[in-house]
Structure 1
Amino acid sequence: MTLDYFSAFLIGILGAGHCIGMCGGISSMLTAAVKQHSRKSFYFVAAYNIGRIFTYSFLGLIAGFTGSLGIKALGLPVISLKFIAGFFLILLGLYIGQWLFWLNRVEKLGRTLWQKLQPISKHLLPIDSTPKALGLGMLWGWLPCGLIYSTLTWSIAAGNAIDGMAIMFFFGVGTLPALLTVSLGFQTITVLFKKLWVRRLIALGLICYGVFTLNVAYQLLF
C-alpha cells in the first residue's frame, strides 16, 4: 500500500493548478482573513487545511469500505478496481490539460449534494476565528471536484476502509503546497500554476502515471 499512498500524494502535488482554480475563492477569503488577523494567520490557515484533509480522509474511509463490500459481496477482483483507478487518472490529466472534459459529468453527480451543503458556509463567514476556519475547511472538502473523485477511485481500489482513508489523507497532504501558497498570498507561484502550459505539463505527468498504473495492473493479471 506504500506505493498507493505515494501515488495519492503525487496526484495531490500534480493537481496543484486545478486545486488553485477550484479553491481560489475560498483561498482568497482566507488570505483576506490572514491580513486582517495577522497574529492568528497561522491558526486560520492550519485549521482550514486540517478541516479539508479531514473531510477527504472521511470520504476515503467511505470509498474504501464501499470497495471492500464490492470485493466481498459482488466478487469484484481488486485488479479491476486498479484498472478503473488508472483510467480515471488518465481522464483527470485530459481534463486538467483541457483536452477532454468527461470528468465534468462526474462532477455533476456531486453538485446536488453540494447545493445543499454550500448555504452552511454563510454561517462561517467572515473567517474571524479558528473554529470557523476549521468548519469551512471541512465543508469545502465536499466541493465537487474531478481531482478528488479521481483519487477516490484509488481508495475504492484499496479494498478496505483504513487504506482508503490513508490514501485520501496523503492526497490532501499533497495538495497543501499549492493551497498554502494561495492562502499566504504568494501571487507569483499562484499565477504560474494558472498558466496553460504549466497545467498541460502537469496534465501530461498525470496521464503518464495513469498509463503506468494500467500497465502495473495488467502485469499483475499475468
Structure 2
Amino acid sequence: MVTLESGVYLTALVVGLLGGVHCLSMCGGLVSSLTLGLEARVRRDPLRMLPYQLAYNLGRLTGYAVAGALVGGLGAILLQLDSLQVVQRLLYALAGTVMVLLGLYLAGWWRLLAVVERQGLWLWRRLEPIARRLLPVRRWPQAVIIGFIWAWIPCGLVYSVLLTAVATGGPVEGAVVMLAFGLGTLPNLLGIALLAGAAARVAERVWARQLAGLLVIAFGIYALWQVGFAG
C-alpha cells in the first residue's frame, strides 16, 4: 500500500529529476560563475573539476537536508499540539494539494512557481552577500560552504517540496524528503556530461514529463482522498 510518506519521497525524487530544466535555468549561471576563480587548467579538465562540483553539491544537499529537518520538525510540533488529528489531516491536505500543483508543473500544464519563488527573496538578500565574500573559490571547503548557501536560493521547486516535507511530521523524514529531491537534481547540476545529457534528454520529452506529472498528481489526489476518508 502506498503511504503518504512514500508518495512524498517519490514525488520529491521525480520532481528533482524531471524539474531539471527549471534547475538549469535557475542555477546554470551560478554553477558557471563558481568555476571562474579556478585555474584554467582545472576548468579545462573534468576530472580536476569533479571534486569542486561534488563539494558544491555536498553543501547544497546538506542545506536541503537542514531545511527539510526544520520544516519536518515544525510538522511534528504541530501534530503534538492537537490530539484530534485535525492538524494531521490539514497537513495531509497541504501535501496533497502541493503534489497536484507540482504534477501540473512537471507536465507543463500550469506554472505557479514564479509566485512561490518571490516569497524567499528576503532571505536570499541576506545570504547572497555571505556567499559573494567567499568568491573566488580556490579550495573545495569554500565550495562546500557556498553550496550550503546555494541551497537557500529562491526556488519554487525547493519551496514546494519543502511544503510536502512538513506533512511527514518529523525532522528525519523531512530531511529525507529534501535529500531525495536533491539527489534527483544531481544529474542535471553535477556537471558530469554523460549523466547531465541523459537527464536533460529525458526531461525534454513531453511524454516523459506528462507521465511523471500524472504520477505526482495521482499521489496528490490519493493524499487528499485519505483526508476525506479519515473524515
User: Aligning the two structures, in what range does the TM-score lie when normalised by the shorter sequence?
Assistant: 0.7 to 0.9
Bigger helix share: 1
Deviates more, 1:110-119 or 1:66-75: 66-75
- Paired position in structure 1 for 2:155: 145
Look at both structures and tell me which one has the larger radius of gyration over its CA atoms. Answer: 2
* Of 217, 222, 226, the match for 1:210: 217
Residue pairs, 1:112-191, within 5 angstroms: 112-180=122-190, 183-184=191-192
> What is the deviation of 1:96?
5.4
One-letter identity of the residue aligned with 2:122: T
Q: CA RMSD in A?
A: 2.8
* Structure 1 position 45 matched with structure 2 position 53: yes
Give the Cα–Cα distance (whole angstroms) in 1 for the partners of residues 127 and 169 of structure 2.
28
> What is the deviation of 1:143?
0.7
* Structure 1 position 17 matched with structure 2 position 21: yes
Aligned in 2, Cα 1:84/1:147: closer, same or farther, shift over 3 Å? same
Q: Deviations over 1:189-209 (max 9, x none)?
A: 6875785xx478526623541
8 Å CA contact retained: 1:18, 1:96 = no
Give the Cα–Cα distance (whole angstroms) in 2 for the partners of residues 194 and 208 of structure 1.
15
> What is the deviation of 1:15?
1.3
Under a length normalisation based on structure 2, what TM-score does the superposition of the two structures give?
0.80
* Structure 1 position 78 matched with structure 2 position 88: yes
Identity, % of aligned pairs? Answer: 33
> What is the deviation of 1:119?
1.3
Under a length normalisation based on structure 1, what TM-score does the superposition of the two structures give?
0.83
Aligned in 2, Cα 1:153/1:200: closer, same or farther, shift over 3 Å? farther
> What is the deviation of 1:35?
5.8
Q: Deviations over 1:26-82 (max 9, x none)?
A: 222345548642363121011000000000000000000111122222554434322
> Which runs of 5 or more residues in structure 1 are unaligned?
none
**Count of matched residue pairs:** 218
Give the Cα–Cα distance (whole angstroms) in 1 for the partners of residues 143 and 171 of structure 2.
27
